[in-house]
Amino acid sequence: MYAVILAGGGGTRLWPMSRPETPKPFLPLLGERSLLQLTVDRIVGHAELPLSDHDVWVVTDRRYAGLVREQLPEAPILIEPAGRNTAAAVALAALRIERDPDEVMLVLAADHHIEDGAAFRRVLAAGARVAEGAAAAALGIDAPLVTLGVRPDRPATDYGYLAPDARARARVGDVDAALLSGFEEKPSRDRATELLGDPGTSWNAGVFAWRRSAIREALDRYTGLVTLLDPVRDSDTGLASAYDVLKPLSVDRAVLEGAARDHRVAMVVLGGGWSDLGGWTAILTAIGAQGSGRVVSPGETAEAGPGDVVVDRIDGRLRAAAGPREIQSTSPVALLRGAAVSSAEIDTLLARVTEWEQRR
């Protein structure tokens, strides 16, 4: 077993704290360690998963290779010429990382928050068993692609949903597994409420387990990525030219939707305690603060009330200010509704990130 961590950047929904040069995965949002470092800490050196530091690869855009080396000096790095979403990153990892074709590759994002690390590792281990085929017979599938689902606790409209096949379910240790019947991308509020009432439907966490040979075969079947990238995988100039023509696609859209229709995808389920930390609301929840938040884009106007907090950058430094005030800025600003009661937690977060930025 080995793991591939996708650290491609992003984090625009966390502006102005996250910036293009220092995106979300590399920031110390939940403590002194960055989200990328916490991701490695979560999977290496634990009894539930047989992973060492040398079994963990990081795939990143060339702009962030230096940040990865700073934070994970021992980690092997696979550098993409440019960010092209997760399908290209997974394809490059499947082609370039020389491991046994039957070995299980775990794929994780660099910027998720997991409350119960031990439970998460048990689910990953169960997913690896299903991917190996040992636990897949009960699902009627051989060497499936495995995706991790999370039990929803609210009708979220910013996550995709995984629909299991009620006729093909199994228990792998203490983990639920099922054959997947389909994906549903970011539903309406009414549809999300309906899905919440289905005890089997889960959020799509974007965490995967599969044999290297299985994902390579699936990439070949459902995309042109193997044909495009394999001949130039060891050439920097050839790879850059190939990436220039690539359309950014998620591995879910490029591979797993079609594979699910062909009954080749299984799901293992994490009970809860997962967040992709996709925006300010999720960050506030993770640090124990109240309120909800969004980014006010340059040129947009908004009003902060007396119970709100506004986060902006003044001379490059993060600053939090209480409302009321009118917002009209030439740079992104975060408006945190109802967060004034948690000013201490917000100030601690911004101070930690600012200190990290000053040390660089």
The secondary structure of residue 18, as a DSSP letter, is S
Q: What pLDDT score was predicted for residue 183?
A: 84
**Average of pLDDT values for 66-89?**
94
Q: What pLDDT score was predicted for residue 108?
A: 97
pLDDT tens-digit series, residues 326-352: 998 889 999 999 999 999 999 999 999
Could you tell me what percent of the chain has a pLDDT over 90? 72
Q: What pLDDT score was predicted for residue 63?
A: 93
- Other Cβ atoms closer than 10 A to 292: 16
List the one residue out of 160, 237, 155, 158 whose CA is nearest residue 196. Answer: 155
List the one residue out of 105, 125, 115 whose CA is nearest residue 150. Answer: 115
Q: Tell me the C-alpha distance between 331 and 311, whole Å.
A: 11
How buried is 54 (Cβ within 10 angstroms: 0-12 exposed, 13-18 middle, 19+ buried)?
Answer: exposed
pLDDT tens-digit series, residues 308-324: 999 999 888 999 999 89
Q: Does residue 215 surpass a pLDDT of 80?
A: yes
Q: Does residue 57 surpass a pLDDT of 90?
A: yes
Provide the Cα torsion 323, 329, 334, 335; round to 10°. 40
Q: Tell me the C-alpha distance between 230 and 304, whole Å.
A: 52
Instruction: Tell me the whole-structure pTM to 2 decimals.
Output: 0.93
Query: Where does the pLDDT of residue 75 fall: very low under 50, low under 70, confident under 90, or very high at 90 and above?
Result: very high
Q: What pLDDT score was predicted for residue 211?
A: 96
The secondary structure of residue 53, as a DSSP letter, is G
Q: Does residue 162 surpass a pLDDT of 80?
A: yes
pLDDT tens-digit series, residues 96-123: 999 999 999 999 999 999 999 999 999 9
Q: Does residue 200 surpass a pLDDT of 90?
A: no
Tallying the residues shown for the chain, one arrives at: 360
Query: What residue spans define the domains of the chain?
Result: 2-275, 280-359
Query: Where does the pLDDT of residue 62 fall: very low under 50, low under 70, confident under 90, or very high at 90 and above?
Result: very high
- Other Cβ atoms closer than 10 A to 221: 13
CATH number of the domain located at residue range(s) 2-275 in this protein = 3.90.550.10
The secondary structure of residue 234, as a DSSP letter, is T
Over the chain, what is the mean pLDDT? Answer: 92
pLDDT tens-digit series, residues 288-309: 999 999 999 998 999 999 999 9
Residue of higher predicted confidence among 181 and 93: 93
Residue of higher predicted confidence among 280 and 195: 280
Q: Does residue 7 surpass a pLDDT of 80?
A: yes
- Looking at 265-342, list the stretches that DSSP marks H as alpha helix, in order from N- to C-terminal side: 280-286
Q: What pLDDT score was predicted for residue 142?
A: 82
Q: Worst-scoring range by mean pLDDT, 38-52, 81-95, 158-172, 226-240?
A: 158-172
Query: Where does the pLDDT of residue 32 fall: very low under 50, low under 70, confident under 90, or very high at 90 and above?
Result: very high
Token pair of 8, please?
Answer: 């491609």
Token pair of 204, please?
Answer: 């799509």
Q: What pLDDT score was predicted for residue 278?
A: 87
**Average of pLDDT values for 2-11?**
88
pLDDT tens-digit series, residues 128-141: 999 988 777 777 78
The secondary structure of residue 246, as a DSSP letter, is P
Question: What is the distance, to the nearest Å, from the Cα of residue 88 to the centroid of all Cα atoms in its chain?
Answer: 15
Q: What pLDDT score was predicted for residue 58?
A: 97
Q: What pLDDT score was predicted for residue 141?
A: 83
